[in-house]
Structure 1
Amino acid sequence: MKTHVKSLVVGGGAVGASIAYHLAKAGWETMLLERDELTSGSTWHAAGLLPLFNMGYATSHIHDYSVKFYKTLEAETGLNAGFYVVGNLRMAQTSERMDEYMLYASTAESVGIPYEWMTPAQIKDRWPLVRTEDLKGAIYHPTDGYINPADVTQAMAKGARQLGAEIVRRVQVDGYRWTGSEWIVSCTKMVEKGGNLVPSEETFEITAEHVVTATGNHAQRTARLLGIKIPAIPVEHQYIVTEPDPMLVEYRKNNPEHPVLRDADAKWYVREERGGWILGPYERNAPACFEYDVPQAFRADLFPLDLDRIEEEYMSMIHRIPSSETVGLKDDYNGPICYTPDGNPLVGPAPGLRNMWLAEGFSFGITAAGGTGYYLAQMMVQGEAEIDMAALDPKRYGSWMTTEYAARKNEECYEHVYILHHPDEEREACRPLRTAPCYDRVKAQGAQFGCVNGWERPNYYAPQGFDDHAARSFRRGGWWQYAVEEAKAIREGVGMIDATAFTKHLVRGPGATAFLDWFTCNKLPKVGRINLTYALTETGTTRTEYTIVRLAENEYYLISAGAWTAYDGDYLRKAAEDKMAEFGWIDIHDVTTQWGVFAVAGPKSRDLLGKLVKDANPATVLSNKRFPWLSMRNIELGMCPVRAVRVAYTGELGWELHHPIEMQNYLFDQIMAAGEDVGLKLVGARAQNWLRQEKSYRAFGNELGRDATPLEADLPRFIDMSKDFHGKAAMEQTGIRAKCCTLLIDGPEDADPWGREALYEGDTKVGRLTSGGYSVAFGKSIGMGYVRPDLAVEGTKLKVKMLDQLWDATVTCDSPYDPANATIRKDV
């Protein structure tokens, strides 16, 4: 057995085997350790489904790769992976469910996943055992189906061995130690005694440059060994296998196998199994398990079945497939399946650690295994994947996350597998948790909250008694009218947005200026000024967007997106540590929770703030001469000291008011009182999102990400090509593969795009939207996205796919609302 390798994979399920295969294929000397036998975790009892349906762009790519990759394994390894390409039929009982499928289909088209629409009559004609009179239709994927989890894992493991990887079973990892250049991994040989697997007295160490953990149900133990938090905790998932169904057996004499059937409104999947059926429900009240550790004695074991918990789903299967009513139960399975609070796995660099990679929290591990190995290997070997993997990054959860939070949110996520996935949905478990001081005040004003990185953030404001849940829709929900009023208030009067969730870092010290000049692509601002800039990846794509406020010669206040606090901070700190020897000492502090933020914007914003500002000459303190656009001033609003930044994400005259968070309620009350006679309106995030699109302001996680460079985002004005900065050469070498643009859309009267839609020129797909919404300035839908560079020209006529129809879209100029920025620069 080797004692030194380039990459060490810990965990021998489907995910670990895929990672070992792809790292070995990339040429890295790789070893995989498994504490028991390959597939002995959740892999062995997985149903092996391969659903392509997913609303996420990155996850859809991962699933699509897996389905294609698994079909190649037999030719490469000689092992049949047990892939049954029977298709996947996802049925809908309601029109709203069909709306969900049409929105999903937009993502599928962007990725290139084939699908077909089917009517109830077509379903009945093709699969007569399925009851269809109460269905609205279905979406059908002809290229997927199900696979044998053990067979595909063994095939990937054999492929990894053929490529030079070493796979060692019965080895438990007991510790990790970073030397500054590599990992020393402490291991114990496991032995079987009395049917249990126990540690032996044989211990040893393995040295690895890179380590990947794919430990599945053991993620909490892994987290303790690494000294980090991993919100991957299993939830009990049960499924049952019936005896043979005589009518199914008769049907199969002259017909091919049924596709995997999914009745999303009934919360189950069903597939054939040896003449009978497998029913897999996603019921309410499935409990989390192994919240702190997996018992040593738990191996390829199961929990007792709780039939009462799945009675509703079982009866609905009988309704949908009447022939199953008289069929007895043959087998039952109730085993742990790992989840995360949002259902996406945790794939990428571990927080705070070097060369430590996580691949944890896979609720659909068989579907995701192949693609995870492929894209994670790209990240490790090449520096980045070809798709933006930020949505799966482990650092999307910060240090505020606890075991209790993860367990309860994971239970909720399990229950929501088949709940309607509204783009505007907000799940309720564990809320409110992180609240700004003004939470109760804005709630009293009708705030309907969303959750961003645990923070409660107003999405919009509605009359008391308004039901946010009932207002959700795949079209213009009940909230839409209120967001329109809020957007108009900022365009025509004055509005205030609670932006406390913004991420804020203080960077200072003798090396701060040289570091930030290298770390970001734009010129650094002068003292008292601000700029917008980007930190790039090694491959030249956009890693983070920052607004930099220069407080002093070597002191900077960095503002970035509220959803990405740990993600941004980890990258910033690691980059600074790497450059201190070159640039000098750099001190970095996350000050997010020390500063509240109110964004006040609109033509009357100067009138509003002028009533509160305390100054020897209050009439001029907010003027262009004393307080120009893109500058920062320390001002006083009543008794509250404020770090005011003259910038507005909405594209209007406005200020961000960064204030000591302990004074937030005082400041809120002062602003609300002063705003009574100027028509101040509280505004939420949805209206803000529309307004920033009218200004073509790119958003990180939408237009900005690790799959596009700032040049492809069409942001040359924020790039100083006269200096050297991290990622510059790679950015230049990449060129312009696609280009970001803004489009005005003549869409349906009752719907706007969500930013997941495919773009067409004639019958040819030429790009996709990354943002969408409604423009109050133009009275129509608006969107931003990426198209072929030759099409990103004002006046280009395209089509956008919405609700399974093509709608006219026209590429407009950058910043179609006020392209000269006259309103932003407006003086007294």
Structure 2
Amino acid sequence: MADLPARARVVVVGGGVVGTSVAYHLTRLGWTDVLLLEQGSLSCGTTWHAAGLVGPLRASESGTRLVQYSAELYASLEAETCLATGYRNVGGVIVARTPERMVQLRRTAANAAAYDLPCELVSPARAQELWPPMQVDDLLGAIWLPGDGKVNPTDLTQSLARGARQRGARIAERVRVTGFTVADGAAGRRVTGVVSDHGTVEAEVVVNCAGQWAKALGDLVGVTVPLHSAEHFYVVTEAVPGAHPDLPIMRDPDGWTYFKEETGGLVVGGFEPEAKPWRAPDDLPHPFEFQLLEEDWEHFSVLMDQALLRIPVLEETGIRKFYNGPESFTPDNQFLLGEAPGLRGFFVGAGFNSVGIASAGGAGRALAEWIVSGEPQDDLVGVDVRRFAPFQADNGWLRSRVAEVLGLHYAVPWPNRELETGRPQRRSPLHERTAAAGALFGTRMGWERPNVFGPPGARLDYSWEKPAWLPWSGAEQRATRTDAAVFDQTSFSKYVVAGPDALAGLQWVCAADVDVPVGCCVYTPFLNERGTYEADLTVTRTGPEEFLLVSSSATTVRDLDWLARHGVAAQDVTEAYAVLGVMGPRSRSLLASRSPDDWSEEGFPFATSREVTVAGVPLRATRMTYVGELGWELLVAASDAVAVYEAVRAGGATDAGYYAIESLRLEKGYRAFGRELTPDLGPIEAGLVFATGLAGDGDFLGRSALEAHRAALAAGGPRRRVVSFVVESPEPMLWGGELLLRDGHPTGQVTSAAWGETVGSCVGLALLRSDGAVTAESLAGAAFEVDVAGERYPVRVALRAPLA
């Protein structure tokens, strides 16, 4: 029987590669009182049957840096622990069969240049030289990634475990966690320990790294861990001519397959377009140690047929082993990391979507830093567990979604792609009306939202070039700039903060001064201790002790958690109200014709909010815009939304969607949280110091760091800066992520881009890196270009937006 201690500072649940990485990195940071519990043996869950691919280049810079660190750690760990990880830096080849895939590979190469990673576009002949077993007659090209590697997952896990033990961590195998102890306190619920079949251990921090069991454990304490298992297949072949230990990894995403050498043969695996979900998270077998599922050659045939096309010799090659191992996937194909909202001290590191080996080193370090520092030390927004709400943890919904998500690994990553399964979840009260008007919907935080309005029978299409819906969006943009448009923005997150402590609490968490007269609206960020972004929102004072906060659709759980952590009690009223954005130069006269209230410039100035009546319906109108035109956001009870919408439409407003909003805001240079505004960036780099209280005397969260940053840059100005740009040619279509070049050299990356109908070409925002101060003069004296899938186009770059 395991001899467990009565208490430990941290208990890590799960002894796979992620759990051991968290334990290892906690001890490296000086937290040595760490206990890791594993229900079977180390690496016995998903880890042992993972393919072990380590490809550092990811879609985002934060993701790339995370896996880069993993590769560096795996290469150096043996010297520290005297246990080999099996890591070999063999490089990787990704091949393209179609023009659409070649565009993706050219964009990938440009991303690599932006992140200063080696990457080379190569011909099919060169690809075959790098990977001799394949035939290349049907290929258009490939890329060569010298930084790719492979590792032995079980050896890696054991090496991480030894490294953790060497610094004091204890590891107990064959201990099954069955529950947790929780206490209520002044700061809310907090985890206090772990209950197991070998007794209870008191703990300050619990880290749920239980893999496909993580959701069921989270459910025990009301923590949302949305993941579901799917069957994942690969085979190991007999010896293949040309296979050797240093053979690169090869990926053929148009055939949904990957290949790596193993003992003279090949691992042949992939990500089929339609996956096979396994059992629900609360119905997983126990014990399930070093086990596989039944072979399913029929399901695997879609991958094997493509493998035979790429490597004809496989027709004559035997199969040593068929692996069918379940792995957990999340609703958006990104893993889950961070402290759970509503339960302090309970952290999650799970749902790695078949990239757990590559991610484990960096994710383990990031989670350990979060635990020790009390907040993330890098941009983890894309993997933050708080991006999901409780309604997204339904097992039936997850089962539907996982069948689609697994296949996205090797699908063409179309810009603006919308997932199709598990919809709809949440609908605006205007949904039926906008659908009848031709809305083509996207989804955010479960909400169905009009992206664009098209003719009868239209569908959203995906393309690297200009899509079919662009003229429809262009018409919506013109209506907003020249007449009046109405946007269904019901999905906005909405919170009420009220009571005698409301002002003091908001003055601390808001970087701008919100002690304003009743009826005034303030644009403000939430900053962290490092002076970088945690949220971007508006705060309206609706009474002496009451405030209305309006934020991004996607950040509801994150925002509410941030407020609660800093002692601000907020009520989520998102579903109680619809929001109609009525925007454009004719918006004033239109609303005045439907209302007895004063909508004049004098009676209703910018950044003010009033209770008014429109079409006989009482509502709150706030003169605020995200499109840069005269306009109001109408906050109306959900039950009355249709009446107001129909009155506005009868007044001649054009229906418009979120694609138009994106274009319009970029023409005005308005920043967006998660793209321009991230936890890696502060208001100085973003050009938004004016939206903080730095010029005043009041203290706020992040002020000290912001002042220190300003002082450090005073001599030379910011070395990173969000800038606006306009493409000089109307020909290319930009989507975001493109490489920005200065005098022919990589200098940054596009964070957001869209077609600007008013400008007549694509516009956007980019994060520019510079050796010196980024000033209007320095920008005017340089030649800038943007790389669009290998083609370079001149752009005009400036601190001011084109329509500012």
Q: Return the TM-score normalized by structure 2.
A: 0.93
CA contact (8 A) 2:245 2:263 kept: no
Contact 1:291 1:407 in 2 (8 A): no
Question: Are residues 1:412 and 2:385 paired?
Answer: no
Q: Are the counterparts in 1 of residues 191 and 344 from structure 2 also a CA contact under 8 Å?
A: no
Question: 1:132 maps to which residue?
Answer: 136
| Counterpart contact for 2:685–2:721, Cα < 8 Å | yes
- Give a deviation string over 1:502-534, Cα, whole Å, max 9, x none: 000011001101111111111113101101011
1:176 deviation in Å? 2.0
Distance 1:267 1:223 in 2: 33
Aligned to 1:800: 786
Partner of 2:28: 25
Picking from 73, 96, 102, the partner of 1:98 is: 102
The answer to whether the 8 Å contact 2:337/2:385 transfers is yes
Change (3 A) 1:448 1:232: same
Following superposition of structure 1 onto structure 2, how do residues 509-658 of structure 1 map, counting pairs within 5 Å?
Answer: 509-524=499-514, 525-576=516-567, 587-615=569-597, 621-658=598-635
Shift of 1:378: 2.2
2:268 counterpart letter in structure 1: L
> Which residue in the other structure is 1:770 paired with?
751
Opposite residue 227 of structure 2, the aligned amino acid is A
Partner of 1:580: none
Deviation at 1:90, TM superposition (A): 1.1
SS in 2 for 1:292: helix
Residue 659 of structure 2 aligns to which amino acid in structure 1? R
SS in 2 for 1:325: helix
Deviations 1:796-822 (A, max 9, x none): 1333332124433333243431x3xxx
2:223 to 224, 228, 235: 228
What residue is the counterpart of 1:502 in the other structure?
A: 492
* CA distance in 2 between partners of 1:764 and 1:281 (Å): 36
1-structure distance, mates of 2:401, 2:728: 36
Structure-2 change in CA distance of 1:127 and 1:229 (3 Å): closer
The structural deviation recorded for 1:382 is 2.9
Distance 1:229 1:258 in 2: 41
Would the aligned equivalents of 1:799 and 1:806 in 2 still touch at CA under 8 Å?
A: yes
Contact residue 60 and residue 108 of structure 1 kept, 8 A: no
From 356, 359, 376, the counterpart of 2:367: 376
Q: Which residue of 1 aligns with 2:723?
A: 742
SS, match of residue 700 in structure 2: coil
Name 1:153's counterpart in structure 2.
157
Equivalences for residues 676-755 of structure 1 within 5 A: 680-721=653-694, 722-735=697-710, 738-746=719-727, 749-755=730-736
Supply the distance in 2 between the matched residues of 1:45 and 1:343 (Cα, whole angstroms). Answer: 20
**Once the two structures are superposed, what CA deviation does each residue of 1:329-358 show, in whole Å capped at 9, x if it has no partner?**
221111111110111001111111112211
Shift of 1:2: 4.3
In 2, are the aligned partners of 1:235 and 1:337 still within 8 Å (CA)? yes
Deviation at 1:278, TM superposition (A): 1.6
Supply the distance in 2 between the matched residues of 1:791 and 1:683 (Cα, whole angstroms).
39
> Residue 472 of structure 1: SS of its match in structure 2?
coil
Q: Relative to structure 2, which stretch is displaced further, 49-58 or 307-316?
A: 49-58
Query: Which of 283, 295, 316 matches 1:293?
Result: 283
> Residues 456 and 791 (structure 1 numbering): CA distance in 2 closer, same or farther, change over 3 Å?
farther
Q: Letter of the aligned partner of 1:705 in structure 2?
A: T
Report whether the alignment pairs 1:785 with 2:766. yes
2:17 to 7, 14, 18: 14
Which residue matches 1:366?
357
**Does the residue aligned with 2:666 lie in a helix, a strand or coil?**
helix
What corresponds to 2:248 in structure 1? 259
Pick aligned residue for 1:216 from 211, 217, 225: 211
Partner of 2:59: 55
Counterpart check, 1:481 vs 2:454: no
Amino acid at match of 1:186: V
Question: Conserved in 2, the CA contact under 8 Å of 1:741 and 1:811?
Answer: no
Amino acid paired to 1:450: G
Task: Give me the TM-score of the superposition, normalised by structure 1.
Answer: 0.91
* Aligned match of 1:113: 117
Q: CA deviation at 1:170?
A: 1.9
AA aligned to 2:636 is H
1:430-485 per-position Cα deviation (integer Å, ceiling 9, x unaligned): 112211121122112221111100101111111112231xx211232222222222
Give the aligned residue type for 1:801.
D
TM-superposed deviation, 1:647: 1.0
Aligned to 1:71: 75
The secondary structure found in structure 2 opposite 1:816 is coil
Residue 303 of structure 2 corresponds to 313
Amino acid at match of 1:532: Y
Displacement of 1:747: 6.0
Matched residue type, 2:635: H
Letter of the structure 2 residue corresponding to residue 604 of structure 1: R
Aligned equivalents of 1:353, 1:112: Cα separation in 2: 39
CA RMSD, aligned part only? 2.0
* Match in the other structure for 1:185: 193
Counterpart CA distance in 2 for 1:566 and 1:738 is: 33
- Structure 1 contact 35–170 (Cα < 8 Å) conserved: yes
Contact residue 379 and residue 680 of structure 2 kept, 8 A: yes
After superposition, the C-alpha distances for 1:295-345 in whole angstroms (9 at most, x for unaligned) are 223222111011111212211111110111111222111111111011100
**2:793 alignment partner AA:** W
Unaligned runs of 5+ in 1: 189-198, 578-586, 616-620, 820-828
| 1:400 is the counterpart of 2:377 | no
1:576 aligns to what SS in structure 2? Answer: coil
Corresponding residue SS for 1:689? helix
CA-CA distance at 1:635 after TM superposition = 1.1
Aligned equivalents of 2:91 and 2:217: distance in 1? 37
Which structure 2 residue ranges, 5 or more long, are not aligned? none
Other structure's SS at 1:628 match: coil
Change (3 A) 1:474 1:777: same
Aligned mates of 1:788, 1:323 — CA distance in 2? 48
Alpha-carbon distance, 1:371 to partner: 0.7
Describe the shift of the 1:122–1:716 C-alpha distance in structure 2 as closer, same or farther (beyond 3 A): same
Counterpart residue identity of residue 595, structure 2: V
Preserved CA contact (<8 Å) 1:450 1:459: yes
For 1:751 and 1:472, the matched residues in 2 are separated by 15
3-state secondary structure, aligned to 2:722: strand
Report the CA distance between 1:760 and its aligned residue. Answer: 3.0
Match of 1:45 in 2: 49
Residue type of the alignment partner of 2:589: D
2:445 to 448, 453, 459: 453
Partner Cα distance (2:170, 2:707) in 1: 39
Q: What secondary structure does 1:546 align onto?
A: strand
Within 2, Cα distance between the matches of 1:664 and 1:633?
Answer: 17
Q: What CA distance in whole angstroms lies between the structure 1 residues aligned with 2:720 and 2:146?
A: 32
After superposing on structure 2, the runs of 4+ consecutive aligned residues of structure 1 that deviate more than 6 Å are: none
For residues 576-614 of structure 1, give each alpha carbon's deviation from its aligned partner in whole angstroms, at most 9, with x where no partner exists: 25xxxxxxxxx5210000110111111111122122113
Partners of 2:12 and 2:472 in 1: CA distance: 51
